[in-house]
Structure 1
Amino acid sequence: MTRREALKQGGIVALAMALPISITSFKKYNDMNTTKNFEVIIIGGSYSGLSAAMALGRSLRNVLIIDSGLPCNRQTPHSHNFITQDGATPHEISQKAKSQVLKYDTVNFIEDKAVKAKKTGNTFHVLTASGKEFEAKKLIFATGIKDIMPSIKGLQDCWGISVVHCPYCHGYEIKNKKTGIIANGELAFHLAPMVKNLTNSLTILTSGKADFSPEQISKLKKNNIEIIEKEILEIEHLNGHIKNVVFDDNSKEPFEATYAALPFKQHSDIPELLGCELNEQGYIQVDMMHKTTVEGVFACGDNCTRLRSVANAVASGNMVGAIINMELSNEQF
């Protein structure tokens, strides 16, 4: 029975379709719980994964999305710099996206965690934490990355709220505030001009000896950017909104916002275990078509680029969906 037929007949199925996404997802799982073979499996059901699924669903491709429900921006109060969705919460955007994507009858969604994948011939086998196994001709990793939090008390509580990573995603909202950059060397110097454009009160917090060239030091001084080399012990905050940075000599410096260039790791180790190469920065290596180094495997979103934004994730997912549909169409033609 299709969704349209169910809606015409009414009853519990129609009611489930009108309820929140968790109910819809449950129905989708019931629809396909005896199906193990798909044309495409998408691991990761956030913005890039859902975008890829929409392109594939509109091309009548039989798709399974596997998502563990832990997006990296779940603490972020509002998403910005994404046209038509500026100011919406990440949750609102993803929920709306899911409801639209799951209207396509060939797209299936389960909340589970992919834990293993292997390739046999031209077929990919994916195993989930709940013990389910699925097969597909093509595999998409839309798994994102995981920030590695330093051992600074309070920083994680402020992450995505008043300690942020991107001036394009968050900078307008914290413009003209007393701002810090928690970073050192090239990462700090890369951020400094963009943040300086948004505030005249800027300090770099290197949390240790500064690592800048004489030319960089000269430019920072020219732009009245202070450098504090003391180790950071704590971020004092109120409900995630930074108040003070506390240093190892027990001194404090008030701030209203800070940027932090944090190290990261891949959210899933499956791509690397499957044979996908990572580049020097730790991202999944992809070509212009978002193909990984393993034939039939694609990556999109934050796991393969420094351009970490909802808009870019959606764009890359849309491209991957189109490229895979073209490949499948040519293989079947």
Structure 2
Amino acid sequence: MAILRAGLIGLGMMGRHHARVLRSLEGVELVAVADPGGDPHSVAGELAVLRSAQELVAAQIDLAVVAVPTRFHEEVALTLAAGGVHTLVEKPLAPDVEGARRIVQAFEDAGLVGAVGHIERFNPALQSLRTRLEQGELGAIYQVATRRQGPFPNRIADVGVVKDLATHDIDLTAWVTGKAFRSVAARTAYKSGREHEDLVAAVGALEDGTVTNHLVNWLSPMKERVTTVTGENGTFVADTLTADLTFYSNGSVPTTWDAIAKFRGVSEGDVVRFAIPKPEPLMTEHTAFLQAVRAGSAEAAGIVTMRQGLATVAVAEAVIASAAKGETVDVVVP
């Protein structure tokens, strides 16, 4: 098996984790790193810290990971596409739909594998949840609700909570259900003195009518990452902080207590917490990307394709537009 030469641009909080995983992958050698701001976490090791994506391409790399701030994603990704480099771009793919569309087109025209780092897809709890939904364990899906809140991360300076955090929920909701967003209605708030929103509440409708609800903020002292999927057979709850998946089934035992028996609806049934393997999501993501690169196909290994990343950016922009207009906005993906 040929060793693939890897490059990494962006050596900040996420970049240091990407460097660690790249160095641990069999069949990959991290040969070049770049960051115009230097190496604050000392991840370069013996490697020289390059200054640009052009220098990264000149190092004759086969694949690259882009972990720079969102506003630089388009410039860096287009440079790597022009250099013939298979690329994984941290989420979101770009700060706006037009930038994301240009990136998608560049990689498709070049015949390169392009992926987006929506890490939640590789969380063990959500992977197990998706498999169980595909197998029909929940029956018809009625609603997907997510809560993602915690303190403000100092690493974020160029986007608000919608494009940084809520894009996780947008992507995972479409992925676990296998359905695209049709429309969204949202409200945002600005409470921390920054130019970007730090709180959003969004209601959505998927193409099959499934209702979605997303509560996301940077204003809570507690950290929460929960996805709840309700359907005709019960409810799945995935906690992606602990990678736990729990199923609350609808009751099947007749209720004899008269006051409760008159309630027309479901009742409580068995509760099952599944024992599932818990590999590191970032390792799983990199392994899938590597498999796709070796296969020469973005569809081969279950990676988040750039077209899927484009769709997520389109939904995020619709959320922001809805909050600004105070009305429901249809999602249009170019």
Please say whether Structure 1 and Structure 2 have the same fold, judged by a TM-score greater than 0.5. Answer: no
Q: TM-score, normalised by structure 2?
A: 0.26
Structure with more of its chain in strand, by fraction: 2
Q: TM-score, normalised by structure 1?
A: 0.26
